[in-house]
Structure 1
Amino acid sequence: MNLQIGQWRIDILSGGEFLHDGGVLYGVVPKSIWEKTQPVDEQNRVHLAMQCVLARNGTHTILVDTGHGDKLSPLDRKSHGLMPGWALREELIRVGTQLEDIDTVILSHLHWDHSGGATSKFPSGIGPTFPNATYYVNRQEWADAVSGDITVSGGYVEDDFLPLEASGKLSLVDHLQEIVPGVQVLQTGGHTRGHQAVLIRSANQGLLFPGDIAATSAHIRRMWCTSYDLDLARTRQVKAELFGYAADHSYWVVWNHDKDCPVSKVERHPKREFMVVNNTR
């Protein structure tokens, strides 16, 4: 699936698929309500995607998030209900991109399903998957991930990100920092304290990658948040800010864990705040 955002060709690529507990994904929302939007298996798990964004403009080749990667043990793969292999490698080949072509990797946050593919196993040890890329991580996210403080560091796997620092490929960024012209990160907080969204703009067009602020298109609802969110109030607040901006500018929104609706536009709604429109499904 691809879009054209001004000078940017945007490809929505699979970083893998997995099964996840529905109660965790939808938090305080009763199952009798959320199950109408997404069926579950016999273990109460829902089938989710790990959408990544490849953006190319002839000068830069940018990857937003990396999926689960290829380092997980067979036991971990079974636990997460992962599909075989690591789809992102094949997806990149399909759209004519080699690992070496990517010069910029932006990670929304450092949980395993977003940053696992940032590093890979090599004969010499674990190192950056994309050898010519600089990896951009929010400064607060990095501090929390390496802190050892269990109140903020849960969900991180050190092999996914510590080798980036050791290789000299890591760049820490702050709220509203421009990575390359037309590509900006926005520290949202909410899901993790250093979680960041990504905004790509060109020629009065744009695409918003909100990451786990809204895991699926169903999470466009203000109260629909995951149980993993560290700051539920902040997640709910920032949804209104992000979706309001996307709606007012008619920007595309990527739903990074939505298998059936990877990208859409949104509009304001008088009764439901926002609604999904122009679904590319």
Structure 2
Amino acid sequence: MNLYTINCGHFKLDGGAMYGVVPKSIWNGLNPADENNMCSWATRSLLIETEGRLILVDCGMGDKQSEKFFGYYYLHGDDNLDKSLAQYGFHRDDITDVFLTHLHFDHCGGAIKKEGDKLLPAFKKAVYWSNEAHWKWATHPNPREKASFLSENILPIKESGQLKFVDHWSSKNDGQSDWHVVIDRKLPEVLFGEDFLVRYAHGHTDAMMLPQVRYNGKTVVFMADLLPSPGHIPLPYVMAYDTRPLITMSEKEAFLREALEKEYILFFEHDPKLECCTLKNTERGIRPDQFFKLSDL
């Protein structure tokens, strides 16, 4: 197995929205805002090369939206998915599986491209993976998330015939709360191999999937929007975008205890600079320990 960092580009979001109830006087030291209170964030994907498959975890927001749409998000920098794939000798047509952690536009927009008036799969040879619970949630969106679930990013995946669901998952209680946290659910080996597990989180959005990969004797967890950045590791640092912030806090607490005990490596999708970290226990709780790039493993 080989793992590669795929940089799909940078965009900006309101700092207050990204850090929730935490005051700007505190979070601004983590990711300084510009004059419009906007902070820079990455769309960082993970490419997994294993057993004849090339699995792309998330794919950024793509480039098919209108100039007005992108004007809200201040795209910047030179990174893009195709350039990043080419760095490792790959092309988007080499991708066999696109694993979508969830269907918010900054995670799945790159899954569909526009050719004339047609919306087509951007990875024409790939199987697209979601799960039934999240698909229903995204295709019948609540008012809070409606602006993040764009039909042009989602419906053409099913129409293409390339959509499959990660199925037969069930929740188990973490013993600490009244809500359910799904952990260590192995995907069928025929799809991703015995070193690829998927775990679920329900605070940010319903049934978000977090890939967990065993690599070079280490466990790497793709954090998606459970922990968008290492700055979100302290429990109160929960995005205003989360639909169930108290559940997010519970999921974070349970995951961080496990990750510290088992020495997981956390891979961050949205931090503009920091890719990975380990954890340590401090007087203030669990905090980042060492930072490094995925290529250093």
The TM-score normalised by the length of structure 1 is 0.91
What residue is the counterpart of 1:222 in the other structure? 235
Q: In the aligned structure 1, how far is the partner of 2:79 from the partner of 2:32? A: 24
Correspondence list, 1:7-18, <5 A: 8-18=1-11
What residue is the counterpart of 1:92 in the other structure? 85
* Deviations 1:249-275 (CA, angstroms, capped at 9, x unpaired): 2222111110121212223x1423322
List structure 1 segments (4+ residues) > 6 angstroms apart after TM superposition: none
How far the C-alpha of 1:19 sits from its partner, in A, is: 1.0
Identify the range of structure 1 (200-209 vs 145-154) with the bigger mean alpha-carbon deviation.
145-154
Q: In the aligned structure 1, how far is the partner of 2:98 from the partner of 2:255? A: 22
Kindly indicate whether residue 196 of structure 2 is the aligned counterpart of residue 183 of structure 1: yes
Kindly indicate whether residue 287 of structure 2 is the aligned counterpart of residue 275 of structure 1: yes
Flag the 1:100–1:141 CA change in 2: closer, same or farther, 3 A: same
Which of 41, 44, 49 is equivalent to 1:51? 44
Identify the range of structure 1 (140-149 vs 107-116) with the bigger mean alpha-carbon deviation.
140-149
Q: In the aligned structure 2, how far is the partner of 1:85 from the partner of 1:65? A: 19
Corresponding letter in the other structure for 1:81: Y
Which of 20, 30, 36 is equivalent to 1:27? 20
Kindly indicate whether residue 225 of structure 2 is the aligned counterpart of residue 212 of structure 1: yes
Are the counterparts in 1 of residues 10 and 77 from structure 2 also a CA contact under 8 Å?
no
Q: Which runs of 5+ in 1 are unaligned?
A: 1-7
Are the counterparts in 2 of residues 265 and 279 from structure 1 also a CA contact under 8 Å?
yes
Flag the 1:273–1:238 CA change in 2: closer, same or farther, 3 A: same
Are the counterparts in 2 of residues 146 and 153 from structure 1 also a CA contact under 8 Å?
no
* Deviations 1:132-157 (CA, angstroms, capped at 9, x unpaired): 11111122211011115425544111
Correspondence list, 1:80-159, <5 A: 80-83=73-76, 87-123=80-116, 125-151=118-144, 153-159=146-152
Are the counterparts in 1 of residues 129 and 163 from structure 2 also a CA contact under 8 Å?
yes
Q: CA RMSD in A?
A: 1.8
Q: In the aligned structure 1, how far is the partner of 2:100 from the partner of 2:198? A: 10
Are the counterparts in 2 of residues 70 and 86 from structure 1 also a CA contact under 8 Å?
no
How far the C-alpha of 1:243 sits from its partner, in A, is: 2.3
Corresponding letter in the other structure for 1:119: I
What residue is the counterpart of 1:4 in the other structure? none
How far the C-alpha of 1:36 sits from its partner, in A, is: 1.6
Flag the 1:156–1:78 CA change in 2: closer, same or farther, 3 A: same
What residue is the counterpart of 1:255 in the other structure? 268
Kindly indicate whether residue 241 of structure 2 is the aligned counterpart of residue 241 of structure 1: no
Q: In the aligned structure 2, how far is the partner of 1:9 from the partner of 1:204? A: 12
Flag the 1:38–1:32 CA change in 2: closer, same or farther, 3 A: same
* Deviations 1:91-129 (CA, angstroms, capped at 9, x unpaired): 011111111111111111111100000111124611111
Identify the range of structure 1 (47-56 vs 137-146) with the bigger mean alpha-carbon deviation.
137-146
Are the counterparts in 1 of residues 127 and 164 from structure 2 also a CA contact under 8 Å?
yes
* Deviations 1:175-201 (CA, angstroms, capped at 9, x unpaired): 425151121221111100121211112
How far the C-alpha of 1:68 sits from its partner, in A, is: 1.0
* Deviations 1:39-90 (CA, angstroms, capped at 9, x unpaired): 1100001011111001112521111010011111111111110126771111
What residue is the counterpart of 2:164 in the other structure? 171
Flag the 1:77–1:154 CA change in 2: closer, same or farther, 3 A: closer
Are the counterparts in 1 of residues 214 and 220 from structure 2 also a CA contact under 8 Å?
yes
Corresponding letter in the other structure for 1:272: R
Kindly indicate whether residue 257 of structure 2 is the aligned counterpart of residue 264 of structure 1: no
Identify the range of structure 1 (161-170 vs 120-129) with the bigger mean alpha-carbon deviation.
120-129
Identify the range of structure 1 (77-86 vs 11-20) with the bigger mean alpha-carbon deviation.
77-86
Corresponding letter in the other structure for 1:271: E
Equivalenced residue count is 273
The TM-score normalised by the length of structure 2 is 0.87
Identify the range of structure 1 (171-180 vs 102-111) with the bigger mean alpha-carbon deviation.
171-180
